[in-house]
Amino acid sequence: MIRLLLLLSLALLSGGLRAENYAQRDDVQAFVADMHGRHGFDPDALTGLFRRTRPIAAVIKAIMPPRDPGVRSWRTYRARFVEPRRIAAGRRFMHIHAAQFAAAEAQFGVPADIIAAIIGVETIYGKQLGNFGTFAALTTLAFDYPPRAELFRRELEELLLLAREEGRDPLGYTGSYAGALGLPQFLPSSRRRFAIDFDYDGRIDLTGSATDAIGSVANFLAQHGWEREAPIATTVTVSGDGIQALLDEGIVPQRMPQQMATTNVSLAGVGAGATVIADRPAALIDLVTPNALTEYRLGYRNFYVITRYNRSSFYAAAVMDLAAALRASE
């Protein structure tokens, strides 16, 4: 039912019918009243912002799941990010900003190639920043996308707080269709909490300052528990009838590898020099490709930390593999 309503709304918007401006809606006025009560915003000023804002059909279209999602493919997903163009761009980016990467690694303990890989996956080092008005995109999702409206109302709140803190017009921010900002694609909540002025020029600029972006990614991972000089994941072969039970435990590392044997699962590291680290808790990760063997990894704490950036095992594995490609190309 929700999907049908969304499709109807999208059809109306894309068909050229102008929806009423957001300032006229009761749910928006309730949001305005809440922002006034909790944060002291001027209701008239906020209403003025919403009066100038219309729904963006392309935002709803971009965020909606495919009609026929099919089965996710790890190999297809990986190939989007671990590919020659991105690797070459990453090498150039790391060379140009070598001093900044070294400083971030020294301060936060996060390897330069991991920082670079995240920026590469997110925006191809600034080539794909997005050109949607952030306020309008978040407003569209907050009030016209019911499945995730609560999340995006929080991010809209965070954007307004961010704009006030920075003395900027809330309508002046641009980014992705989901409201993500700058080279590292931070949502406004992450922008407020984890972005840092790493070039020490007195302001945080995640779009124009690669140095700020590098430091901010490193700070994000460190704040989420990155372990300095610790492993990320080990590719393993897996056998036994307890595999699904381990997968059902999720991606939080909680079992020592030897404990996995108690679930009738045996593990062996694969690849040059690969070994299972016996004294570190891990989670069993499956990377599934249709009509192919499933790839398994033992994800340690740092693998889990990468999933705090994007809550996907595919994402964390792609970052790990792009980082390895960047290291190999040095």
8 A C-beta contact, residue 295 and residue 76: no
Q: Which two tokens stand for residue 303?
A: 């693998």
Q: Which pTM was predicted?
A: 0.91
Share of the chain above pLDDT 70, in %: 90
Q: Is 299 helix (H, G, I), strand (E, B) or coil?
A: strand
8 A C-beta contact, residue 255 and residue 249: yes
Name the nearest CA neighbour of 207 among 230, 173, 168, 235: 173
Q: Is 283 helix (H, G, I), strand (E, B) or coil?
A: strand
By DSSP bridging, strand 283-287 and strand 265-269 are: unpaired
Distance between CA atoms of residues 257 and 282, nearest Å:
7
Cα dihedral value 250, 256, 261, 262, nearest 10: -80
Give the residue-averaged pLDDT of 37-43. Answer: 98
Tell me what pLDDT residue 15 has: 42
Tell me what pLDDT residue 121 has: 98
Chain segment 285-295, per-residue pLDDT in tens: 999 999 999 99
Whether the pLDDT of residue 3 is over 70: the answer is: no
Q: What share of the chain is helix, strand, coil (3-state, %, to 5)?
A: 55, 10, 35
Q: Cα angle vertex 9, ends 179, 134, to 5°? A: 15
Tell me what pLDDT residue 262 has: 77
Tell me what pLDDT residue 70 has: 67
Tell me what pLDDT residue 66 has: 74
Is residue 129 very low, low, confident or very high in pLDDT (cuts 50, 70, 90)? Answer: very high
| 3-state SS track over 179-248 | CCECCCCECHHHHHHHCCCCCCCCCCCCCCCHHHHHHHHHHHHHHCCCCCCCCCEEEEEEEECCHHHHHH
pLDDT, averaged across the chain: 91
Tokens 């150039």 map to which residue?
Answer: 92
Give the residue-averaged pLDDT of 12-30. Answer: 72
Whether the pLDDT of residue 5 is over 60: the answer is: no
Distance between CA atoms of residues 42 and 83, nearest Å:
49
Is residue 268 very low, low, confident or very high in pLDDT (cuts 50, 70, 90)? Answer: confident
Whether the pLDDT of residue 8 is over 50: the answer is: no
Distance between CA atoms of residues 42 and 48, nearest Å:
10
CATH of 2-63+130-181, one of 3.30.160.150, 1.10.8.350, 3.70.10.10, 2.40.50.140: 1.10.8.350
Chain segment 64-114, per-residue pLDDT in tens: 987 766 678 999 999 999 999 999 999 999 999 999 999 999 999 999 999
Tell me what pLDDT residue 274 has: 66
Whether the pLDDT of residue 134 is over 50: the answer is: yes
CATH 1.10.8.350 domain range(s) in the chain: 2-63+130-181
Q: How many residues comprise the chain?
A: 330
Chain segment 220-239, per-residue pLDDT in tens: 999 999 999 999 999 988 88
